[in-house]
Each structure stands twice: as C-alpha cells, then as structure tokens.
Amino acid sequence: MKVIICGAGQVGWQIARHLSGENNDVTVIDSDPDLVRRAADTLDVTGIAGFASYPDVLERAGARDADMVIAATHSDEVNMVTCQVAHSIFAVPRKIARLRAQSYLTAIYSDLYRRDHLPIDVVISPEREVADAALQRLAAPATFDTESFLDDEVRLIGIVLDADCPILNTPLRQLSELFSTLFAMVVGVRREQTLFAPSPEDQLYAGDQIYALTLTRDFGRTLEIFGKPTQRQERIIIVGGGHVGLAVARELEQRPGRMRVKIIERDRAVAERAADALERTIVLHGDGLDMELLEEAAVERADAILTVTADDKTNLLAAVRAKTAGCAFAIALINDPSLTALMEPLHLDAHINPRATTVSSILRHIRQGRVRAIYSVGDAEAEVIEAQVLSTSPLAGQTIRDSDLPEGVMIGAIRRRGKFVRPTASTRIEEGDIVVLFAMADDVPEVQRMLQVSVDFF
C-alpha cells in the first residue's frame, strides 16, 4: 500500500513508523525540514519538505498512484485543502484528516464532507478521542488504562497489582482453573519498566502493571479478583475547561444519577464559555494549582479529578495536589510520553496520552483486510488487535498451540457465531472467528501476515 502522510509531528511520525514497519511504501511531507530529516533518518520512509496542500508537493510525493493520504498537520485548513487537492487532482481513493476545531465537527455540518463537497473519508478529532478516553477512565477508576472491543462486549483493562492482590505468586495457567466461570485473561505484563506477553507458567507480583482482556459483563468481578474494588463516581473535578474538559462535562451531565461536576479554568473567557455551554456543572475561574481553590471545590471529598489543561506539568502537579488533599482518584493528560514514568512515584492513578489515542484511532481506519479495531498500548510498545480470521489465513483450522504465533502474541478472546470461546492452547481457530489479540510491536508485522490482510483491501 502506498501512503502519503502529511505532517511529521508526533502523530504523523508514529503512523509512519507503524506503516513503514509493515513494508508499506510511505512518504512523509512536512514544512519543517528538520522533522522531515528526522523521519527519513529514523524510519524506512521517503521525506519531502514542503507544504502538503500544494499540488506540486503532493505530485512529488507520488500522489498520482497513492492509495491513501493522511493529513495530520497542525492546521485544520491545510488538512482539509490537502484532502481536496488529493481528490480533485490526483483521485486518491482514501483520505483521512485530523481536525481540531469543534465547529468543523458539529453534526449539523456533517454534510460538508460528502465526496461532491469536501471529500474526506474519515475525520479524526483528537479532542473527542481524548474526551472518550477520559470518560472510559472515569468509568473504571481502579484501572490505569481501558479500551472496548467486539462491540463493547470485551474490555481491555490495565491494573497495577497491590501487595494484597489475592492471586499473587500464582501461575497464570491456574487462574482459569480457580475461576472457571470467569472470562478473563492476562495478555500483557509490565515489570521493571519492561512490557512482555506472559507465558502460562509466569506468576504475577506486587507492583506489576498488567493488561487483561475480560468480558464486559465480568468486568466488576475481574477487578475484585485482582484486588480492586468497584465504586461509583459521583463527585468529579475537571481542571481545564477547553474542548476536552467541556466535552467530558457535557457527557457527564447527560448521565443518569446525581453527578456533581466542577470545572476549574484559569482563562476567564474560556471559563465563561464553559459556564454558558453547561447547565448543571459549576465552573470556577482560577488556577488548578491553587490549593485554596481546590479546597473550595471540595477536592477532599471528590471521587476523581481529571486534569486536562494544555500543559503537562500543570496537569501532573494539579493531580498530585488533589491526591495529597484526599481526592480518591487522579487522571492526568500527558502529551510527553517521557513524563509517564512519573506516574508511579507521584502516586497518580491513570493518564491519557493524546498521541496514543489519536494514533490508535487513525490506525483503526487504515488497516487493510478484516482488521476491525486496534489499540496502541503504552508508548506504541504493543498493540491490541481485533480481526476476523479469513479462510486464507494460516491461523484458520489450527489450534493455538500449533499456530506458530510469535512468543510476543497472545489471543485473549474469540467470538464465534455470536458466542465467546475462552482461548486455551488446544482451542482451534475457525474461519470467520473474530479474535482479539495482544501483540508486541516487533511482532505486529508477522500478525498482519498471518491474518492475510492483503487479500481483502479495506
């Protein structure tokens, strides 16, 4: 597949890394020569310095025979014009644009993106992706990461194991014997900063960060088995009243029950705009680092605090102050992945990486064949992939034991004709099965080959 990626920032670079690693023909365009040089030097891609919306630049990038254009520059308007030029002049079959301004995303204007108007096949909104991720974290306060698969019937959950976890020092193969009616499988473990796919003989230890796949109906029971209580979130403080904070507050207002939401926003104009847009949410104007203001918001009685300002350090410090004051659960928005290492020493519960959520969303729309969903784990260290097994796949007709899957890959859930099958070494994969699997980044190309994704284009 020939792909042109417009924008070599964090998102564009990660997308290029994924696609070039799967032997696609990737060209990266950016107006900053240094970013282009970084991409060309570190990845197997072609780099072109120039403005992505210029027809001659797209032509130099090979747009005449490109299969896809991904417009992920920092300018919404450049992304939109790039898709228009790619369609009108070069007839590129598939166009994806990252758009930030909420006005472009309003449902009543969705007609704008028809092929005879502004031909964008997929619109990605980082703010909406981050807001959705924040809401998922709030819905599962005992987890540091969570994502849904198989039409929300299967959940990926990330949990830090405490010293009182009842299943420590137990081989993973025994978990299915001990809890025979529970559908849950540990597919990834991070120990001493290293992520790996565990074997059936591996044991879990206090301090491990684990990733598990479980049926949504077993979610609460799974948390209990891993020593995590379930609790209802009713009092929530949001630091940052911009697009993300506003979107989260709007969604929480629509939920049933006695949700008590407060927003703290430093910029008066943004605070006033949030106050006008919300009905039941209390908006406080001030600095989220101000302890007196946090006390005014009753942070000591809050079930959760969500810090989503534009500054990573403010988000971390505000979350730390809230936890110190007695807030039960703290989620911080962190753009710089190097800062996530501070989560544990600062005793913060969860974080959201906008880059990872945006990359996962874009990858979900560009995978070939029967891949239905994808989620990037950690700092692009692994992927959780939902895919349908084709008749041409080497997996079809094989047991998991005999399937030659790489060691860094684990199948965590199988749906067959509407019913779920618990994966074991003797489980036979059938044509038409939909599988959810965990794969370390280095093993993703081999997984794609085994799924035979090139047979079925889109």
Give the span between the Cα atoms of 272 and 148, in whole angstroms.
34
Q: Do 392 and 337 sit in the same domain of this protein?
A: no
CB atoms within 10 A of CB 164: 8
What domain range includes position 266?
A: 235-356
Q: Do 96 and 85 sit in the same domain of this protein?
A: yes
Q: Domain containing 258 — which CATH number? A: 3.40.50.720
Q: Is 134 a domain residue?
A: no
Q: Is 143 a domain residue?
A: no
Q: Do 249 and 314 sit in the same domain of this protein?
A: yes
Q: What share of the chain is helix, strand, coil (3-state, %, to 5)?
A: 35, 25, 40
Residue 397: left if φ>0, alpha if ψ -120 to 50, beta else—which one? Answer: left
How remote is the C-alpha of 361 from its chain's centroid? 7
Indicate the residue among 124, 148, 174 that finishes a domain.
Answer: 124
- pLDDT, one tens digit per residue, over 125-175 is 888 888 888 888 888 888 888 888 998 899 999 999 999 898 899 899 888
Q: Give the full edge-to-edge strand order of the sheet including 184-191.
A: 145-149, 154-160, 209-215, 184-191, 194-196
**Number of domains, the chain:** 3
pLDDT of residue 272: 96
Q: Domain containing 368 — which CATH number? A: 3.30.70.1450
- pLDDT, one tens digit per residue, over 169-214 is 989 988 878 887 889 999 999 998 899 999 989 999 999 999 999 9
Q: Do 261 and 352 sit in the same domain of this protein?
A: yes
Longest dimension (CA), the chain: 64
Q: Buried b / exposed e across 376-399, counting CB within 10 Å, b at 16+?
A: bbbebebbbbbbbbbeebebbebe
Q: Do 307 and 343 sit in the same domain of this protein?
A: yes
Q: Is 212 a domain residue?
A: no
Q: Is 48 a domain residue?
A: yes
Q: Do 385 and 294 sit in the same domain of this protein?
A: no
pLDDT of residue 317: 95
Backbone phi and psi for residue 225, each to the nearest 5 degrees, phi listed first: -65, -35
Q: Do 260 and 323 sit in the same domain of this protein?
A: yes
| Mean per-residue pLDDT of the chain | 88
Give the span between the Cα atoms of 394 and 51, in whole angstroms.
43
Whether residue 106 is predicted with pLDDT greater than 80 in this model: the reply is no
Indicate the residue among 356, 383, 409 that finishes a domain.
Answer: 356
pTM over 0.85: no
Whether residue 452 is predicted with pLDDT greater than 70 in this model: the reply is no
What confidence tier does 110 reach under pLDDT thresholds 50, 70, 90? low
What confidence tier does 359 reach under pLDDT thresholds 50, 70, 90? confident
Task: Determine the straight-line distance between the first and last CA of the chain, rounded to whole angstroms.
Answer: 11
pLDDT of residue 454: 42
Indicate the residue among 79, 104, 124 that finishes a domain.
Answer: 124
> Which of 255, 212, 217, 248 has the alpha carbon at shortest distance from 234?
255
- pLDDT, one tens digit per residue, over 364-382 is 777 554 677 888 887 778 9
> Which of 7, 51, 11, 9 has the alpha carbon at shortest distance from 27?
7
Give the span between the Cα atoms of 401 and 380, in whole angstroms.
27
Q: How would you classify the pairing of strands 409-416 and 419-421?
A: antiparallel
Q: Do 335 and 432 sit in the same domain of this protein?
A: no
Q: How would you classify the pairing of strands 68-71 and 154-160?
A: unpaired
Rg of the chain, C-alpha, whole Å: 23
Backbone phi and psi for residue 322, each to the nearest 5 degrees, phi listed first: -65, -45
